[in-house]
Amino acid sequence: GAGVSQTPSNKVTEKGKYVELRCDPISGHTALYWYRQSLGQGPEFLIYFQGTGAADDSGLPNDRFFAVRPEGSVSTLKIQRTERGDSAVYLCASSSQYNEQFFGPGTRLTVL
């Protein structure tokens, strides 16, 4: 079956702009995660959804970052007033009740 998909694959924006990154999880997976991976680093946790609600958003770096999952499937990560330091690959993962996390290919965000 289809894996986790993320769109766009690349996003270039200017400092101060607003961006939305989309994640389509594996069908039937109730848990969804967002991670951020900077160059040469391991992924860092941002937020975790169980169903429609954010069960843990402790990794969001500040209030410019927000994520939603209104119908318990697709999720959107929203970044306001982007800064150059936000440049990274944003990874989405999903899991079933057995908790193995399957990652998407990521969205490479570049803030100029």
Q: Summarize as ranges the residues that interact with another protein (CB under 8 A).
A: 4, 31, 33, 35, 40-45, 48, 55-56, 59, 91, 93, 95, 99-106
Strand pairing partners for 91? 35
Strand pairing partners for 102? 94
In whole angstroms, the minimum distance from the beta carbon of 48 to another protein comes to 6
Nearer to another protein, 14 or 39 (CB): 39
Instruction: Report the b/e string of 75-98 with b at 16+ CB within 10 A.
Output: bebebeebeeebbbbbbbbbbeee
Nearer to another protein, 4 or 109 (CB): 4
